[in-house]
Chain A
Amino acid sequence: MRPRRGWRRTQRLTAVVVLLACVGIGTAFVLVALRENVVFFLVPSDVVERLAEGRVGDGRIRLGGLVVEGSVARDSDSGEVRFVVTDGAARVAVRYRGIVPDLFREGQGVVATGTLQAARVEGTSSEPLPLLEAEQILAKHDEYYMPRGVEKALKKNNLWREQP
């Protein structure tokens, strides 16, 4: 009796492993195929690349990156906010009319949803940047949590790491 039960167990284990492998591979295929849709946002480099290749479709995208320090400009008359988003390599300008989240600030992450415009705007380096007309601005934060005093101390001692 014993050898047969042991063999049955091994059979069942093999069957389960094969089942899981198939499901896993199947899922991997689906996820790779859906790649474009699973990514929540494009970074400025992606946008610049797509514009160069003419692969922008109807221009509706979600842009993610860091708000460039010193780039935020608010127009109190029209309630418009303008800023530049970077991923360290490329930059995109954003224009938004509305209230931004509390956590929106220079040097922090942001995700802007909207439409890429044909017109380009002047960047600070006098190189024209692609413009995104945003309908929604979300703040993005990293995984670091610390008390207020600690941040200042780290910055003072130049130990503050910049987010990717």
Chain B
Amino acid sequence: MKQLLRWANPSVAGKVAARLRGVCLLGAILFGATGLVWGFFFAPADYLQGESVRIIYLHVPAATLSTLLYGTMAVASLGFLVLRLPSFALVCRAVAPTGLLMTALCLVTGSLWGKLSWGAWWVWDARLTSLLVLFFIYIGYFALHSLFVDGARARLATSVFVLVGAVDLPIVKFSVEWWYSLHQPASLLRKGGSSVHPDLLQPLLLCLAGATFFAAWASFTAFDNISMRTRLQRLLHPLS
């Protein structure tokens, strides 16, 4: 435990982040470009949806990352509240911008796909509504953080906020199982394995890997930026 806590020191964590950043960017470009080109040009059309199924290579990675990143924020917030180490709150803040981006992209690509497949830009079913709520939770996080001048109070308030908001995560995931909804049930993480045919699944998994590497790169970069900003503030205003 002592060894693990050593990584919680901001300067140590910052150095590790900088080194891994390059690898993540490379992974993002490699997996992402391959997956998207494969899905856009070479993967077959769907038996039912035809060519519009190609949005899956955008929508599913965005949706997955949106909830995955918020889950990361929730774990980081829990860690901060229990251990009171600022690095945990820093991780949460570093991950948030990418999470917000992914949620927005999920909603937009989903809307376009919905118009093509269901015939509607938006419906208030359980899955869509709960994901829109997650979008507003992300926005709320940034709004709440900006209200505080004192860093310590900001970290405390936002950590509690993120944890309370985490109640939405199981709702998003299980909404399609718990209630009749327009959005179809899960196609990846489900009993009996994925319901996506390998010809479509393979490029999708590559896109998922690419998106994950991208999120990692963006989070490391944001972490670095926040660390630098904190140092800069301490240098310019040493008394505050």
Residues of chain A whose beta carbon lies under 8 Å from any beta carbon of chain B? 9, 12-13, 16, 19-20, 23-24, 27, 31, 38-43, 64, 100-104, 108, 111, 136-148, 150-151
Measured CA separation A104–B53 after assembly (Å): 16
The residues of A that contact B33 with a CB separation of less than 8 Å are none
Measured CA separation A64–B118 after assembly (Å): 13
Instruction: Verify if B181 is at the interface (C-beta below 8 Å from A).
Output: yes
B180 pairs with A145, CB closer than 8 A: no
- Given A137-B119, A141-B49, A147-B197, CB of A40 within 8 Å of CB of B184: no
A64 pairs with B163, CB closer than 8 A: no
7 examples of A-B residue contacts, CB within 8 angstroms: A12-B82, A41-B180, A100-B119, A101-B119, A141-B49, A143-B184, A146-B197
The residues of B that contact A141 with a CB separation of less than 8 Å are 48-49, 117-118, 184
A19-B163, A147-B197 known, 17 other contacts, Cβ within 8 Å: A12-B84, A38-B179, A39-B180, A40-B181, A42-B180, A101-B119, A102-B119, A103-B48, A136-B120, A140-B182, A143-B184, A145-B46, A145-B56, A145-B195, A146-B47, A147-B44, A150-B47
Interface size of B by CB at 8 A reads 42
Instruction: Verify if B132 is at the interface (C-beta below 8 Å from A).
Output: no
Q: Which of B138-146, B147-155, B185-193 faces chain A?
A: B185-193
Instruction: Verify if B105 is at the interface (C-beta below 8 Å from A).
Output: no
How many residue pairs at the A-B interface have CB separations less than 8 Å? 116
Task: Mark contacts of B159-184 with chain A using CB atoms, 8 A cut-off: 1 yes-contact digit, 0 otherwise.
Answer: 01001101100010000000111101
CB distance from B118 to the nearest CB of A (A): 5
A9 pairs with B117, CB closer than 8 A: no
A138 pairs with B199, CB closer than 8 A: no
Measured CA separation A136–B46 after assembly (Å): 25
Measured CA separation A51–B46 after assembly (Å): 39
B81 pairs with A40, CB closer than 8 A: no
- For A139, give its contact among B83, B118, B126 (CB under 8 Å): B118
A23 pairs with B180, CB closer than 8 A: no
The residues of B that contact A31 with a CB separation of less than 8 Å are 171
Determine which residue in A27, A40, A150 has the highest number of CB atoms from chain B within 10 A of its CB, and name it.
Answer: A40
Interface of A (DSSP majority class): mixed
Instruction: Verify if B65 is at the interface (C-beta below 8 Å from A).
Output: no
- Given A143-B185, A147-B199, CB of A64 within 8 Å of CB of B180: yes
Instruction: Verify if B200 is at the interface (C-beta below 8 Å from A).
Output: yes
The residues of B that contact A20 with a CB separation of less than 8 Å are 163-164, 166-167
B45 pairs with A148, CB closer than 8 A: yes
The residues of A that contact B232 with a CB separation of less than 8 Å are none
B47 pairs with A40, CB closer than 8 A: no
- For B82, give its contact among A16, A19, A101 (CB under 8 Å): A16
Measured CA separation A59–B220 after assembly (Å): 55
Report the nearest A residue to B160, measured CB to CB.
A19
Measured CA separation A147–B203 after assembly (Å): 14
The residues of A that contact B123 with a CB separation of less than 8 Å are 40, 138
Report the nearest A residue to B199, measured CB to CB.
A147
The residues of A that contact B125 with a CB separation of less than 8 Å are 40
B82 pairs with A13, CB closer than 8 A: yes
B48 pairs with A108, CB closer than 8 A: yes
Report the nearest B residue to A10, measured CB to CB.
B82
Instruction: Verify if B13 is at the interface (C-beta below 8 Å from A).
Output: no
